[in-house]
Amino acid sequence: MKIVLIGNGVSGITAARHIRKLSDHQITVISDESDHFFSRTALMYVYMGHMRRQDIQPYEPWFWEKNRIELLRARVTNIDFTGKTLSTSDGNTIGWDKLILATGSQSNKFGWPGQDLDGVHGLYHWQDVEAMERHSTGLKRAVIVGGGLIGIEMAEMFHSRHIPVTFLVRENSFWNGILPQQESEMINRHLAEHGIELRLQAELKSVLPDAQGKCRAVLTSSGETIECGFVGLAVGVSPNVGFLKNTQLEIHRGILVNKHLETNIPDVYAIGDCAEMRHPHHGRRAIEAVWYTGRMMGETVAQTVCGKPTLYDPGIWFNSAKFLDIEYQVYGDVRAKAPENHDAVYWEHPDGKKSIRLVFDRDSGQILGFNLMGVRYRHEVCDQWLRRKTHIEEVLQRLGLANFDPEFYLQHESELVAAYNRQTGKNLILKQKRGLPAVLQFLR
């Protein structure tokens, strides 16, 4: 059987690897972005000089031939779903028995005048980093439009080269559609401390060109002109499905799939950023452009195409990132604006760079979520508490189990318990169980 995958990101390559583990099927991976799979989350570190391009390739060049995975650098221009063939830009026609679409995302653009000028780019593809590199020589200022994690990465990249950055964020606080108020304000302060100019409630109106057709400035919705030689678009991403529209494939925002990641066309599957779940799991979004969900989808679809139908189950939501040098972790249900039945205990370090928020059900006391800034907790422990619907007071008393590395990191569990006691008038006492043996016992 011949299996063709379009896209060599984490979803497509994970699927190819696991198909090879499970079968002797013929595998072809097609991509027009790069010759080899690379870690997209590490792109920023190449620009910053921490890593080389070859360092973000998880597999050596010989890996593909050894594992009989054919890599084809080409752009797919047309798919004949009835005849089970596809055409590429170099004139080739390729047949398939099963097709896996892993076409990823593309940076959002909203029709701003000048959005396609030279020097206006997002941060998703390898070519975006090449563009940032090309424009950085002599760059006097970069403007980043939109907040969130992509915007923070771009800001840190330019900041590492001492290039001034202006952030245009239409909200009244950074990423406050995702972060609760205190954490959002922490990031506002942190950006200012690093010399990054944050313009809140500011929107892009247009990008202005110079005589050579390159960007020279942006015009904001308030009428202000900001001179710059690069504009970073960080207003989110959307499924890269443009070339699949007007086909028999059912597409909403992304390619619609069921819980086996099957599309409406037999033998055609979609995974990763381009896939949209028809019926998302409770507490999960229909499209989740996150590295680990792409990997999980790749593992799941491999089982199904190899004759072992497997349901995709992403489990309990989690994510992690960095806001410059503040680490961020979230587990479970933490909302920017909490519903009436949600309560929380919140602690923030006096230095304003660390915080812990535990969200729980106001009536039952069931733990609902963890939001961590500058503090690391063990994923396995938080996941178990959430799955077991553990009471907030039991979580607080055993919070030492969650601490990621108690030998080298300061402990803050007692401060959080004290905050809860002040909030409720209770007198909980922290049970001092820490270290790997206690964690392993808890997980059994």
Q: Give tens-digit pLDDT for 388-398.
A: 999 999 999 99
DSSP β-bridge partners for residue 356: 347, 372
Task: Report the topology of domain 120-235.
Answer: FAD/NAD(P)-binding domain (3.50.50)
Give the closest residue to 232 by CA, choosing from 333, 131, 312: 131
What CATH number labels 2-106+238-305? 3.50.50.60
Which of the four pLDDT bands, split at 50, 70 and 90, describes residue 148? confident
Q: How far is CA 354 from CA 24, 153, 368, in A?
A: 50, 20, 20
- Give residue 241's Cα distance to chain centre: 18
Chosen CATH of 318-443 out of 3.30.390.30, 3.40.50.10540, 3.40.50.800, 3.30.1490.20: 3.30.390.30
pLDDT tens sequence across 411-442: 788 899 999 999 999 999 887 666 666 665 66
Per-residue pLDDT tens over the stretch 3-20: 999 999 999 999 999 999
Tell me the residue type at 57: Q
In this predicted model, what pLDDT tens digit does every residue of 185-236 receive, in sequence order? 999 999 999 999 999 999 999 999 999 999 999 999 999 999 999 999 999 9
- Identity of residue 170: R
What are the boundaries of each domain within the chain? 2-106+238-305, 120-235, 318-443
User: What pLDDT does residue 28 have?
Assistant: 98
298: its two tokens = 């790749």
**DSSP class of residue 315?**
-
Q: What is the pLDDT of residues 349-370, one digit of tens each?
A: 999 999 999 999 999 999 999 9
- pLDDT band for position 404 (50/70/90)? confident
Q: Residue range 258-263: average pLDDT? A: 98
Whether 2-106+238-305 and 318-443 share one fold: the answer is no
Residues 280, 286 contacting (CB under 8 angstroms): yes
| Residue 88 pLDDT > 70 | yes
pLDDT band at 386 (very low <50, low <70, confident <90, very high): very high
Q: Are 378 and 399 in contact (CB under 8 A)?
A: no
Beta-bridge partners for 2: 26
